[in-house]
Chains A and B, each alone.
Chain A
Amino acid sequence: MRWIWIDRFEEFESGRRAVAVKNVTLAEDYLHDHFPGYPVMPASLLIEGMAQTAGILVGEANNFSEKVILAKVKRAVFYSLVTPGQQVRHEATLEQMSGAAAMTSGRIFCGAELVGEVDMVFSHIDQNISGLEFPEENFVFTDEFMSLLKTYREQGGARVSL
């Protein structure tokens, strides 16, 4: 299983707002355990989708010079269930940013329906978590994430014809 919980950026306003979508499909393993006979997207993985959307927004605001990680989920609340065949839309807003941390708010939609809200604090790993050795390079923003952003910027919605 790949640890990527967004499929495509729909909107990206540097330093302000990002919108990413994720399709939910029975081809995903975890759904078969959650639950057998009645698959629903786990809330924790919806939180991760928002964390990836908001994390890239925060990282890009600093040109990906810092390793940005999720440090605190202030509040995550869910109003309805997401099932296979649906598309989830993560709308993240950068609320505040300082040298050490960033705060984001987020709304999760399925079509027009508000499915959940997630407010988070991100911090820069070097500054705030001590006692652990980690590699110098920015391992947080993997090639997959960078290419999602690149695709959004370069294609701008244009489709490739065969």
Chain B
Amino acid sequence: MKFVLVDRISELQPRRRIVAHKALSLAEEYLGDHFPRFPVLPGVLMLEAMVQASAWLVRASLDFAASLVLLKEARNVTYKSFVVPGQVLTIESDCKELTDEQSVFAACGSSDGRTIVKAQFTLRHLNLADGNPALAELDEQIRAHLRALFGLLSAGCPTASAAGRP
């Protein structure tokens, strides 16, 4: 599968909040196993979608300074209901803290007006060059790839596009 769990960004307030969406389709092959005759978005992919949405906010707010934005800690990820194929998971993530090295978010996911999931988590922001200066070029490659992807995801959202421009 392509490990891109955000399809579209509809709102972005730098350093503060992001609203993004992940659509679920039967075309996603893993659904055959999760579960047979009852395909639903796996809970960990809901978490990944919230993490990726929040990571986009970090990147846009810090001008893509860190190449890697990774989950450090998640707390009280609470699952309330399911997302089935044909539905869209709308993620709203509020940034509680943001420094160059890490960020803290409170996020929730909803679909058709129903709350599906909520979580709090901390992200770490890293560059490979921090550990090994020889990897600076690899950081730049990753950054360039992610800037392009961000352009795609935020195409319909003027505030996001403005934030993402280098």
A45 close to B (CB within 8 Å): yes
Verify B4–A78 contact, CB threshold 8 A: no
* Interface membership of chain A positions 109-124, coded 1 if the CB is closer than 8 angstroms to chain B and 0 otherwise: 0000000000000000
Assembly CA distance A144 to B33 (angstroms): 9
Interface pair A51/B44, CB less than 8 Å apart:
yes
The reply to whether the CB of B74 lies closer than 8 angstroms to some CB of chain A is yes
CA distance A129 to B31 in the complex (A): 20
Flag if B1 contacts A29 (CB, 8 Å): yes
User: B78 near A: Cβ within 8 Å?
Assistant: yes
Main secondary structure of the interface of B (DSSP, over half): mixed
Nearest CB in chain B: distance from A146 CB, A:
12
- In the complex, are the beta carbons of B82 and A4 less than 8 A apart? no
- Measured between beta carbons, the chain A residues less than 8 angstroms from B73 are 75-78
Contacts of B37 in A (CB 8 A): 135, 137, 139
On whether the beta carbons of A139 and B36 are closer than 8 Å, the reply is yes
Contact A129 B142 (CB under 8 A): no
Distance in Å: Cβ of A55 to nearest Cβ of chain B: 11
Q: Is the CB of A1 within 8 A of B44?
A: no
Residues of B within 8 Å of A37, CB to CB, are: 138, 141-142
Closest chain A CB from B149 CB (angstroms) = 9
Task: Tell whether A132 is near chain B: CB-to-CB under 8 Å.
Answer: yes
B142:A38 contact, CB within 8 angstroms:
yes
Residues of A contacting B43 in the complex (Cβ-Cβ under 8 angstroms) = 51, 69-70, 73
**A36 vs B139: C-alpha distance in the bound complex, in angstroms?**
10
A34 touches B81 (CB 8 A): no
Point out the residue from B35, B42, B72, B76 that lies within 8 Å of A74, measured CB to CB. B76
**Quick one: which of A114-162 are within 8 Å of B by CB?**
129, 131-132, 134-135, 137, 139-140, 142, 144
- Which residues of chain A have a CB within 8 Å of any CB of chain B? 1-4, 29-31, 33-38, 40, 42-45, 47-48, 51, 69-78, 81, 129, 131-132, 134-135, 137, 139-140, 142, 144
9 A-B pairs with C-beta separation under 8 A: A37-B141, A38-B67, A43-B71, A44-B47, A70-B79, A76-B71, A81-B70, A129-B82, A131-B81
Given contacts A51-B43, A131-B81, 7 further A-B contacts (CB under 8 A): A30-B1, A36-B145, A37-B142, A44-B45, A75-B76, A76-B71, A144-B33
